[in-house]
Amino acid sequence: MNFSDLLEKAFNFQDYGLLLPLVTNSLIAGAALGIVGGLIGIFIMMRDMAFAVHGIAELSFAGAAFALLIGADVVTGSVFGSMIAALILGILGTRARDRNSITGVLMPFGLGLGILFLSLYEGRSANKFGLLTGQIVAVDDVQLNGMLLLSAVVVIALLLVWRPLTFASVDPVVANARGVRTSGLSIVFMMILALAVAVTIQVVGALLVLALLITPAAAAMRVTSNPVTTVVLSIVFAELAVVGGILLALAGSLPISPYVTTISFLIYVICRGIEAVRSPRRHQV
């Protein structure tokens, strides 16, 4: 394939108007996901848990693959998988170093289980691949409702614990002394995170969750330290990546994920650039 073929595959707006109505559900799901990713990413960054998110995603994938195999609902399967991973990490991995090694142990185990279930599965192979690298081409109404419900639970739960969770995340010693239940909150956070990962997997797949759960928040933090602005930018960046990615994917015959991850990455690079221009001294090291 030469370069113009690739361009043709990636961007082809000929039947755009006809295709758009087909992805309405995907767009709604994507928009909800943008809010989820933008919000929870801030806490994942503050708590330094990027690696743990990856680990949860692999077990979530195993859960989804198992559901596919036994003909159960895939979203439910991934919720189960990520809940189990989050509980293990929340209970055993209270210290960052423990958490990293437990994640390192869980991740290949989850991935291996998932691959086992998928190789036993005899249905459409597109479904198989989709769990790892993203699908969301056709979200039916039932799936959409499930995803919206999960997203709403995540957002509401985050708002309910926002302030003490921020305190516990940036300064656990003082927060604990001030009466914040830091260990209870970290379990609660792991549960919220598990739900967020389970929704995200439906859109971008287990391997690419970080593009929506980390990158937007990480990018926002490069350009602002005002907490309100951070929230707004993080959500905007996540929406640009997801919704923008779905709309662009429509114009080509490639899956959605590369569009989403590329937009997300570009936003991050631009934010780092802005930061470097603004405060060159910090980057001389």
Partner 1 sequence: MTQTPIVKFEDARLAFGSRVLWEQLDLSIAAGEFLAVLGPNGSGKTSFINTMLGTTALNHGRVSIAGEPVRRGSAAVGLIPQQRPFGDNVPLRARDLVALGVDGAKPGIRMARRAVRNKVDELLELVGASGYANRAVSDLSGGEQQRLRAAQALASDPRVLLCDEPLLSLDLNHQQAISEVIHRQAVERGSAVVFVTHEINPILPYVDRVLYLAEGRFHLGSVDEVMQSSVLTELYGAPVAVLRVNGRIVVVSGDGTRALPADGHDHIEDIELETGK
In this chain, which of 26, 60, 200, 230 binds partner 1, going by CB under 8 A?
230
Residue 179 binds partner 1 (CB under 8 A)? yes
Residue 24 binds partner 1 (CB under 8 A)? no
Residue 191 binds partner 1 (CB under 8 A)? no
Q: Give the number of residues in contact with partner 1, rule: CB under 8 A.
A: 31
In this chain, which of 226, 253, 269, 273 binds partner 1, going by CB under 8 A?
226
> How far is Cα 268 from Cα 237, in angstroms, rounded to an integer?
9
Residue 224 binds partner 1 (CB under 8 A)? yes
Q: Which of residues 71-130 bind partner 1 (CB under 8 A)?
A: none
**Contacts by 164-170, CB closer than 8 A, 24 or more apart:** 165/43, 165/189, 166/43, 166/46, 166/227, 169/43, 169/46, 169/47, 170/46
Are 95 and 103 contacting, i.e. CB atoms less than 8 angstroms apart?
no
Q: Name the segment binding partner 1 (CB under 8 A); options: 65-73, 95-103, 162-170, 203-211.
A: 162-170
- Rank residues 4 and 284 by Cβ distance to partner 1 and give the closer one: 284
Tracing tokens 């590329």 back to the chain, one arrives at 262
> How far is Cα 134 from Cα 49, in angstroms, rounded to an integer?
22
Q: Name the segment binding partner 1 (CB under 8 A); options: 103-111, 222-230, 244-252, 255-263.
A: 222-230
Q: Name the segment binding partner 1 (CB under 8 A); options: 75-83, 172-180, 239-247, 266-274.
A: 172-180
Query: In the complex, what is the shortest distance from the CB of residue 161 to partner 1, in angstroms, rounded to a whole number?
Result: 7
Select from 51, 95, 76, 53 the least CA-distant residue to 192: 53
Residue 164 binds partner 1 (CB under 8 A)? yes
> How far is Cα 205 from Cα 212, in angstroms, rounded to an integer?
11
Query: In the complex, what is the shortest distance from the CB of residue 154 to partner 1, in angstroms, rounded to a whole number?
Result: 15
Backbone angles phi, psi at 17, to 5 degrees: -60, -35
Q: What is the DSSP letter of 14?
A: T
Are 62 and 81 contacting, i.e. CB atoms less than 8 angstroms apart?
yes
Q: Name the segment binding partner 1 (CB under 8 A); options: 12-20, 40-48, 140-148, 259-267.
A: 40-48
Residue 180 binds partner 1 (CB under 8 A)? yes
Are 228 and 161 contacting, i.e. CB atoms less than 8 angstroms apart?
no
Within 13 A of 255's CA, how many CA atoms are on the CB side? 17
The site for partner 1 (CB under 8 A) is made up of: 42, 45-46, 48, 159-164, 166-167, 170-171, 173-180, 220-221, 224-227, 230, 279, 282
